[in-house]
Amino acid sequence: MNQIILITGASSGIGAACAKYFAQAGAKLILAARRMGKLQQVVETLNIQASDVHLIQLDVRDRIAVESAISHLPPEWSHIDILVNNAGLSRGLDKLQEADFQDWEDMIDTNVKGLLYVTRNVLPGMVQRNKGHIINIGSIAGHQTYPGGNVYCATKAAVKSISEGLKLDLIGTQVRVTSVDPGMVETEFSNVRFHGDNQRADKVYQGLTPLTPDDIADVIFFCATRPPHVNINEVILMPVDQASATLVNRNR
């Protein structure tokens, strides 16, 4: 695969698994996240030459930093073929009337505005070259709202609308748009949601077999490697033990 892929949120979970899948296929990787040390740890696990990976310490919530990072890419890294908009998080699982304002800011600024900032800076080059693929990581939370999910679900519903809007706006170009929308995947997601309460996070996956980050990366890789005339618009996947956002079999 002679392509350059930018993966946001590559320091953990689904983003790190995507780095592995695309590295194995010979892609050149631009990996972005806030925790540079974790990005470096991910790179150490990859079978990749140092010249085939470019790390960016980036907070996608910072519009100026995003613009600067993309516009200052070395020329050999500037023609991005695939963007995986994966950076995202949930904060809290509280009733709306009791929720924390900062949790809302974190989710909306990262999952919606951050995704838009990165896309807005990468997409003009794709349109100009008439080639590229935007892969957004949505969620079943964008399709179904669950108790306490209010704002997180709203951000993922926004991702769904943004993906659909992009597909409309890109008609007439060869740029592809895909939304990959998982159910429960065991990553740092629940630790982040519960502000480091690992016991509460572990309970989310108790008694069931959740999806793994590799399961999602496998689907993302499949979407990215279809013939150029094929656009996979949306993939929804969940564990066999999950039937909806709230109906889960915990009898494993």
CA-to-CA dists, residue 7 to 85, 99, 158, 186, angstroms = 6, 30, 20, 19
Does position 139 interact with ligand 8X3 (CB under 6 A)? The reply is yes
Among 4, 5, 6, 9, binds ligand NDP (CB under 6 A): 9
Among 5, 27, 84, 141, binds ligand 8X3 (CB under 6 A): 141
CB of 244 to ligand NDP, least distance (A): 14
Q: For this structure, is 152 an active site residue? A: yes
Q: Which of 8/150 has CB closer to ligand NDP?
A: 8
Binding to ligand 8X3 in span 155-194, by CB under 6 A: 183-184
CA-to-CA dists, residue 101 to 98, 189, 212, 242, angstroms = 9, 19, 31, 30
Burial of 193 (0-12, 13-18, 19+ CB in 10 A): buried
Q: What SS3 state is found at 133?
A: strand
Q: How far apart are CA 194 and CA 199, in angstroms?
A: 9
Q: How far apart are CA 100 and CA 135, in angstroms?
A: 30
Q: Which of 3/111 has CB closer to ligand 8X3?
A: 111
Cβ atoms of residues 23 and 47 within 8 Å: yes
Among the candidate windows 53-61, 75-83, 94-102, 228-236, which touches ligand NDP by CB under 6 A? 53-61
Residues identified as active-site: 152
Footprint of ligand NDP (CB under 6 A): 8-15, 33-35, 38, 58-61, 86-89, 110, 114, 137, 139, 182, 184-185, 187-189, 192
Footprint of ligand 8X3 (CB under 6 A): 139-141, 183-184, 245
